[in-house]
A and B are shown apart, each in its own frame.
Chain A
Amino acid sequence: MVYVKRNSLPFGIIQTPKETLEKWYHLMALGRALDERAPNYLKQAIGWSYHAPYAGHDGIQLAIGQIFDSKTDHLFPYYRDMLTAVSAGMTAEEIILNGISKATDPSSGGRHMSNHFAKAELNIHNVSSSTGNHTQQAAGVGRAFNRYKQKGVVISSQGESSVSEGYVYEAINGASNEKLPVIFVFQDNGYGISVPKEDQTANRKVANNFSGFKNLKIFHCNGKDVFDSMNTMLEAKEWVIQNQMPAIVQANCIRMHSHSNSDRHDLYRDKNELEYVQQADPFAKFRRILIRYNRLTEAEIAAIDERVKSEIKDAHRKAMAAPDPTPESIHQFIVPEPYIPQKFPTGEHSLKGEPKKLIEAINSTLKEEFRLNPDTYIWGQDVAHKEKGGIFNVTKGMQQEFGKARVFNGPIAEDYILGTANGMSRFSEKIRIVVEGAEFADYFWPAMEQYVDSSHDYWRSNGKFVPNITIRLASGGYIGGGLYHSQNIEGALATIPGVRIVYPSFADDAAGLLRTTIRSRGMTLFLEPKALYNAPKAATFVPDEFEVPFGKARVRRVGSDLSIITYGNTTHMCLEVAEILQKEHSISAEVIDIRSIIPLDEESILASVKKTSKALVVHEDKLFAGFGGEIAAIIAEKAFEHLDAPVMRVGSEFIPVGFNRILEGAILPNTQKILSAALRLGKF
């Protein structure tokens, strides 16, 4: 490589204007003052119980913030990015408000952990503590930049150890493949808490692990040096914008202190090393060269130091006086208000016409909503390749009609599929995304990390961001699919707040719920009983623009002797059972299809139970710890005085679903098992 003189680069101690150097010194001094002051809040039991000091990362963090332009760019900092946040525009007061978890903390209103700096108004994103998972969200914003021709960059920042996470690989692979304008910054201080980087990966410079990726440029810089960091970040940004491809900037830093205030680095770093990192202090270096090259005088520096002291004092005073969050506020921003159906407010109809299969109802609703809203997108594994549209062809014809920019395949990386949906949502509130989360619902588990993270977003950001995503999954058994093709996941996922879960069992409800889902803000898990896609019993007439509100059950058969509460595949079995009960046992059973698991229509369930005095809860998912336990508990608590019998339940065995049809039959609920339970209940 040809040597380029430092004095001829855009930034250097000789050529950088004095006012810029003053600004940088001020930001660095302010950052250090906050960094050093943070532990005091914990010592005084005020807060900031998690603080990851950034000292030693000063160069690259200043540079990230200075290169970032909040008018055009988006920034995903990590928990050590205090100076990044300050340099990008957050004030000392805002940093302290976050640190001591005040209601006015712009990052999260005291909801998220301290040292997770964010400000939605500046496009500085609130990210998870699952470190490095925001790389996928950054790629998602990059995809939005691509689709909406945004002239800027997305900057994602993380420590070098978190690059070991598989989701980081997925993000960079995706950004490389899709040519997304993202800068992935790796701040390498050599440690993941106490784990030295040689225990993470073979390359000492982890960025070099990605050297075989196409459409990706890797930059290295000294993250301890202000000018090298500034020049590198500037070059990376210009390259990314010009080439519309991603870049990695690996910045070599040092960690001058422990990982956080719960860590003691003297337990694993020797005296020599601790002295060595102190000698390499980036802030002290910057101060020295300002004076050595006569760019600032000692007096000028002292004046800035005094100004910083005053700013910190003022910020502290204001932050301490700020209100704490109230206990009553906990229920705000869990799930945003949904779309309220206008034409079919109860989600029911009695219209007659040509029946449509469940799969056709979903397909046509998707197309109708995509025609209506140009800011809709769908992607997933297998969703769009010539005549094929998904493993079950649910999205057939969509790419042909809406184009590859809106309808496209994702890699076999479920976490990336969902993580980029989260990210793309962050670009604009008007965007509505549908993902086919996995080929089959039981393949969705690798996406759990982004699912859980996305479920938090609305609450965690204090209402400032919510991912607008519909997660479609082909769910359930009765197809002889065995493990990974025939299981249910809603029982496990219903334990996670922040996501709506719906599970229709008829074509019209599928169409109506899907329409409401796509039009709503927030995240909804839309489970499709794949055994019913083409089943005549699930086919119904679907009125034009049919809508079903969330949390509204549908009485599929009226009865007076017992209530059967169900959803999904078992709705049809329960209807068959009700028929048998009536014909052969003169028992009048009412069948309620809850349709929405979250929110749950307690009112309809309780009204039915109060009428019949007996309740049987049926679902395909596992009985033990299944969602039916929640329904049973609600009935027991809120309708106890109306019950003439214990609430009974039918569900699958607490066993994985076997592949052999004999095994599957023995494990899953069926009409006979439900009938037996109903008869036992009827005898009370």
Chain B
Amino acid sequence: MKVALVYSHSAKKTSQVAEEIKKVAKWETLDTINVEEFDTKVLSTYDLLVLGAPTWFDGELPNYWDELIPAIEQLNLKKVKVAIFGNGDQVRYPENFGDAVGLLAEVFESAGAKVIGYTTTEGYKFESSKALRESKFCGLILDFENQHKKNEERILKWISSLV
């Protein structure tokens, strides 16, 4: 299975998560792509895309993802699966907890991709999230600010579910 890990290499917490994923993932080929420097056309060449998307401000995608959306919408990703991880803050931003995960999922689905890697909401306390689908998150959401100690376990469990 050809897998790409796509995230911003200048995003500190996201990069930390990506490093952890690289450590625990058992995929044969895992390409690392800096989302700020690549051509979106390569996305359709992978079987699985693992995407990093922290939530900016009150529930927005980071610019580096947002700017790619018109290009992604033009791709055919019907054969591609995507798994999305992101960071949120349940205490300061409970209304938009991990929104970017949900927003990015919709964008990739609009291009035909299948979103995998849903996770439980147990252990989280928030008000609303665009990542929430039928009582599950459509990806992995980590909370560095308030539940940092749970990151490792959550990443391991999530990666296991993808494999």
B63 touching A7, Cβ below 8 Å:
no
Number of A-B contacts (CB under 8 A): 44
Is A279 in contact with B63, judged by CB distance below 8 angstroms?
Answer: yes
Q: Say yes or no: A3-B110 contact (C-beta < 8 A), given A12-B70, A204-B93.
A: yes
Known A-B contacts A3-B106, A203-B95, A204-B93; the reply to A293 vs B60 at CB < 8 A is no
The segment from A40-48, A284-292, A459-467 that touches chain B is: A284-292
Is B109 positioned at the interface, with any CB of A under 8 Å from its CB? yes
Q: Is the CB of A285 within 8 A of B58?
A: no
Which residues of B37-57 are within 8 A (CB) of A?
A: 56-57
Cα A93 to Cα B26 with chains together (Å) = 64
Per the bound structure, the CA–CA distance linking A315 and B20 in Å amounts to 56
Residues in chain A near residue B69, CB distance under 8 A:
6
Q: Which residue of A lies closest to B66 (CB)?
A: A225
Q: What residues on A are CB-neighbors of B71 within 8 Å?
A: 293
Number of interface residues of A (CB under 8 A): 23
CB of A681 closer than 8 Å to a CB of B: no
Question: Is B73 in the interface zone, CB < 8 Å from A?
Answer: yes
Could you say which residues of chain B place their CB within 8 Å of the CB of A670? none
Query: Chain B interface secondary structure, helix, strand, loop or mixed?
Result: helix
Contact of B70 (CB < 8 Å), options: A13, A203, A205, A279: A13
Once the chains bind, are B110 and A252 in contact (CB under 8 Å)?
no
> When chains A and B are docked, how far (Å) is the Cα of A289 from the Cα of B71?
11
Which residue of chain B is the closest to A205 with respect to CB atoms? B58
CB distance from A134 to the nearest CB of B (A): 25
Residues of A within 8 A of B60 (CB): 222, 252
The answer to whether A254 has its CB under 8 Å from any CB of chain B is yes
Asked if A289 contacts B67 (CB within 8 A), the reply is yes
Given contacts A203-B95, A204-B95, whether A293 and B57 have CB atoms under 8 Å apart is no
Question: Are A6 and B63 touching (Cβ within 8 A)?
Answer: no
Chain B, residues 78-109, CB within 8 Å of chain A (1/0): the string is 00000000000000110110000000001101
Give the interface residue-count category, chain B. 20 to 34
Does A71 reach chain B (CB closer than 8 Å)?
Answer: no
Q: Report how far A285 CA is from B63 CA in the complex, Å.
A: 7
Tell me whether B67 and A292 are in contact (CB under 8 A): yes
A188 contact set on B, CB distance < 8 A: 58
Q: Which residues of A contact B92 (CB under 8 A)?
A: 198
Query: Which of B58, B70, B93 is within 8 Å of A293, CB to CB?
Result: B70
User: A204 with B58: in contact, given A3-B106, A279-B63, A280-B63 (CB under 8 Å)?
Assistant: yes
Q: Which residues of A contact B58 (CB under 8 A)?
A: 188, 204-205, 252
**Complex alpha-carbon distance, A353 and B125, angstroms:** 81
- Is A14 an interface residue when CB atoms closer than 8 A count as contact? yes
Closest CB in chain A relative to B138 CB, distance in Å? 13
**Are B56 and A280 touching (Cβ within 8 A)?**
yes
**Within the assembled complex, what's the spacing in Å between the Cα atoms of A285 and B36?**
12
Closest CB-CB distance, A642 to chain B, in whole Å?
72
Q: A5 interface residue, CB < 8 Å from B? A: yes
**B160 at interface by CB-CB < 8 Å:** no
Q: How many whole Å from A36's CB to the nearest CB in chain B?
A: 21
- Closest-by-CB residue of B relative to A250 is B58
In the bound assembly, the distance between CA atoms of A577 and B109 in angstroms comes to: 90
A12, A198, A252: the one contacting B57 at CB < 8 Å is A252
B-facing residues in A218-233 (Cβ within 8 Å): 222, 225
Tell me if B70 and A14 are in contact (CB < 8 A): yes
If A5-B73, A280-B56 are given as contacts, then 12 extra A-B residue pairs at C-beta distance below 8 Å, sorted by A number, are A7-B70, A188-B58, A204-B58, A204-B96, A222-B60, A252-B57, A252-B58, A252-B60, A280-B57, A285-B63, A285-B66, A293-B71
Report which A residues bind B (CB closer than 8 A): 3, 5-7, 12-14, 188, 198, 203-205, 222, 225, 252, 254, 279-280, 285, 288-289, 292-293
- Cross-chain pairs A/B with CB under 8 angstroms, 15 sampled: A3-B110, A6-B69, A7-B70, A7-B74, A12-B70, A198-B92, A204-B95, A252-B57, A252-B58, A254-B57, A279-B63, A280-B56, A280-B63, A285-B63, A285-B67
